[in-house]
């Protein structure tokens, strides 16, 4: 079916926020006297909800993990949020998609308030009909829940007319939970193997290739 709605992940899909996220994680881990010998060790932390990563990689109980998230935000909200850059070609692609009649949405596990700040900072917020993200109280953080929330906010959006774009396995899994097709981007933080094994319907190498694929989807028959 012809696609009319595109849901975008933010980190690793629209912007390269690796520096700010890694700096914020190092700040937080330092608070707990945990040292990182090689920053590349933090690559798996990019994308998934931070609480889950703290529980998985540091063995934190849920309460301590939530505390860690707040420590992370001390650095991120002050400085890390803007240690970030838009991937080359993203804004041109967004312009083209709007010109093709697409409704563009954001569905990110980043707190919604932070997502809005980032997109406004880079002058991209105006391209999106809705920017949806996680809540600060942790009541909505998993990708499937965020996607469901964004679709509900756009009442006219039908699942069969929507496609999710993301760079990590949790983007794919969350989309599949909601019955959406998924485009995995290979210029972000996830590998080809990760995205393929998670069940991506399509894989693209660049924002330019992403725009071409979405252009074809907009032209498909009803």
Catalytic residues: 9
Instruction: Rounding to the nearest 10 degrees, give the CA dihedral for residues 95, 96, 99, 103.
Output: -70
Please report, for residues 65, 207, 212, the alpha-carbon distance to residue 78 in angstroms, rounded to integers and kept in the order given: 20, 29, 37
Element containing residue 7 per DSSP (H, E) = strand 5-8
Angle at 12 between CA 11 and CA 15, to 5 degrees: 65
170 touches 119 (CB < 8 A) = no
Residue closest to 89 by CA, chosen among 219, 214, 4: 214
Residue closest to 199 by CA, chosen among 162, 174, 221: 174
- Listed in sequence order, the DSSP H helices in the chain are 18-31, 50-57, 62-78, 90-99, 112-121, 143-153, 169-177, 192-198, 207-219
Residue closest to 208 by CA, chosen among 92, 84, 86: 92
């Amino acid at each position: 079916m012809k696609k009319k709605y595109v849901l975008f992940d933010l980190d690793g899909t629209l912007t390269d926020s690796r520096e700010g996220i890694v700096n914020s994680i190092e700040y937080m881990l330092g608070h707990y006297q945990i040292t990182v010998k090689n920053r590349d060790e933090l690559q798996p932390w990019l994308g998934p909800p931070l609480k889950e990563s703290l529980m998985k990689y540091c063995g934190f109980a849920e309460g301590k993990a939530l505390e860690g998230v707040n420590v992370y935000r001390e650095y991120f909200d002050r400085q890390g949020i803007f240690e970030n850059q838009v991937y080359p070609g993203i804004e041109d692609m967004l312009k083209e998609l709007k010109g093709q009649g697409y409704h563009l949405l954001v569905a990110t596990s980043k707190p919604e308030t932070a997502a809005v700040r980032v997109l406004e900072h880079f002058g991209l917020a105006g391209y999106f009909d809705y920017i949806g993200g996680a809540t600060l109280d942790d009541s909505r953080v998993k990708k499937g829940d965020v996607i469901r929330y964004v679709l509900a906010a756009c009442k006219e959006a039908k699942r069969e007319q929507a496609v999710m774009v993301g760079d990590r396995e949790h983007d794919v899994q969350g989309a599949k939970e909601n019955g959406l097709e998924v485009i995995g981007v290979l210029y972000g933080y996830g590998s080809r193997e990760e995205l393929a094994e998670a069940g991506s319907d399509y894989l693209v190498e660049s924002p330019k290739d992403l725009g071409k694929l979405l252009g074809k989807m907009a032209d498909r028959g009803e």
